[in-house]
Amino acid sequence: MSIKTRFAPSPTGYLHVGGARTALFSWLHAKKNQGNFVLRIEDTDLERSTQASVDAILEGMEWLGLDYDEGPFYQTHRFDRYKEIIQQLLDQGDAYHCYCSKDELDDLREQQMANKEKPRYNGKCRQSAEVKEGVNPVVRFRNQAEGVVTWVDAVKGSITVANQELDDLIIARSDGTPTYNLTVVVDDMDMEISDVVRGDDHVNNTPRQINILKALKAELPNYAHLPMILGDDGARLSKRHGAVSVMQYRDEGYLPEALLNYLVRLGWSHGDQELFTREEMIELFDLSNVNVAASAFNTEKLVWINHQYIMNSEPELVAKHLNWHMLQRGIDVQAQGPDLQDVVKAQRERSKTLVEMADASIYFYKDFDEYDAKAAKKNFKVGTDEVLTKLLSEFSALDTWSGTVLHDIVLATAEQLELKLGKVAQPLRVAVCGAGMSPSIDVTLELLGREKTLQRMERAIKYINSIKD
């Protein structure tokens, strides 16, 4: 059977990083084996599923570049098929109607708990259900009473569960809608999924699903259950640990390639290697190298990886994502200012995230409203206006605007005025950027261009004069 994997999120919230890691591993397993990857939206819980969440999942997959070969398939479009299978199981005698009321089941559960027994359905309607007029029954799967279910999990190894542990689960609710374990099985069968890669919160469902698949005489997929992701405090990763939605990572300035690289290392390793291109991930990934133990999310490491990608990726790629952040700040870089790729080259060493890079690049495109108070206090002093005035007259006389020439003028001015270089370059920097940090002064001035530089120097001279009075 050729390899086919799927990612099957329930659209009840944003795309969580844990979900994204599951999607990535599933995608990698398909790609590595020249197989296909399916996206299936498990939206049968009509109360909790939302279109906004479906959109968030699709947006997250697209942003991460996890393309799917088939789908998205929606389970809500497949109700007729589920009904057909439920009927087939009833006809085969592998399922039966159950009329037990909620009160009866609650009493049963209480009794079992009081006897310190595991709460489970007692099989009352298994042999001959007492038909109750006016009551819509649920449908239960008739699980094998004896024997065991065994599978070799690609991550966890061999797992065996006794059938006695598994009660007769409900496969259709009293309103006729199918339940999770039924829909997953029908879809995995119909979509010819060869490898089910999912979170280990589903391990308990697997023997039940295997039994239903067997009743349907379907070929069994391989299973790989991925360990959970913990926060830095050892508890399951959740909102209170910070960002958990994939799109929030975009908003916080991470490159999708960096997040993917971080996620691939969360529970999988290849020696000591930390950085993997997408192609390397596909080549080297192997489910058998996935850790059994849970892995902890480490934001510091993600930031480090992000910085590596910002520094080493093609400026064109970084600029594409930086552009999104500039637009969020109301800046259309096409309209005016330097080429964004040049800004990336100038800023990448000092920016660990695209948020830092965008915030530190606004002045290339837009005038700042005010000077950074600390930087202005430190660098705009009596006499600084004269330094700036001298520079301004030299700059204004230039025919060509080049970083090297500008830098030479700054050097020469410092020499002539018998000032340390910093006493000239730093006020100039604050004058043109509004703050005390920017790329080297020659790069900064060249990127800013003649017009903005000269205008801002004039503005700074006026400002210094105004504070002198």
Rounded to whole angstroms, the Cα distance separating 193 from 419 reads 73
Q: Which residues pair with 36 in a beta bridge?
A: 4
Angle at 146 between CA 145 and CA 148, to 5 degrees: 115
CB nearer ligand GLU, residue 200 or residue 342: 200
Stretch that binds ligand GLU, among 4-12, 115-123, 148-156, 163-171 (CB under 6 A): 4-12
CB nearer ligand GLU, residue 35 or residue 337: 35
By CB under 6 A, tell whether 184 contacts ligand GLU: yes
By CB under 6 A, tell whether 10 contacts ligand GLU: yes
By CB under 6 A, tell whether 4 contacts ligand GLU: no
Query: Is there a contact between 400 and 449 (Cβ–Cβ < 8 Å)?
Result: no
Closest approach of ligand GLU to the CB of residue 42, in Å: 4
CB nearer ligand GLU, residue 9 or residue 60: 9
Residues 6+ apart with CB under 8 A from 460: 380, 385, 388, 427, 430, 431, 432
Rounded to whole angstroms, the Cα distance separating 359 from 345 reads 15
Query: Is there a contact between 132 and 104 (Cβ–Cβ < 8 Å)?
Result: no
Closest approach of ligand GLU to the CB of residue 367, in Å: 48
Burial 218-234 (b: 16+ CB within 10 A, else e): beebbbbbbbbbbbeee
Closest approach of ligand GLU to the CB of residue 216, in Å: 16
Closest approach of ligand GLU to the CB of residue 27, in Å: 14
Tell me the C-alpha to C-alpha distance, in Å, between residue 278 and each of 24, 36, 242, 313, 454: 11, 17, 26, 12, 45
Closest approach of ligand GLU to the CB of residue 105, in Å: 24
Among 23, 25, 30, 42, binds ligand GLU (CB under 6 A): 42
By CB under 6 A, tell whether 198 contacts ligand GLU: yes
Rounded to whole angstroms, the Cα distance separating 253 from 287 reads 30
By CB under 6 A, tell whether 202 contacts ligand GLU: yes
Stretch that binds ligand GLU, among 5-13, 59-67, 162-170, 303-311 (CB under 6 A): 5-13
CB nearer ligand GLU, residue 30 or residue 318: 30
CB nearer ligand GLU, residue 149 or residue 344: 149
Neighbours of 74 (CB within 10 A): 15
Closest approach of ligand GLU to the CB of residue 445, in Å: 53
**Mapping DSSP to helix (H, G, I), strand (E, B) and coil, where does residue 1 land?**
coil
Is 217 labeled as catalytic in the residue annotation? no
Q: Which two tokens stand for residue 180?
A: 């999770």
Rounded to whole angstroms, the Cα distance separating 271 from 285 reads 12
Residues 6+ apart with CB under 8 A from 132: 99
By CB under 6 A, tell whether 9 contacts ligand GLU: yes
Rounded to whole angstroms, the Cα distance separating 55 from 326 reads 23
Among 4, 5, 8, 442, binds ligand GLU (CB under 6 A): 8
CB nearer ligand GLU, residue 181 or residue 444: 181
Residues that contact ligand GLU, how many (by CB under 6 A)? 7
Query: Is there a contact between 31 and 263 (Cβ–Cβ < 8 Å)?
Result: no
From the list 239, 374, 377, 468, the catalytic residue is 239
Catalytically annotated residues: 239
Binding site for ligand GLU (CB under 6 A): 8-10, 42, 184, 198, 202
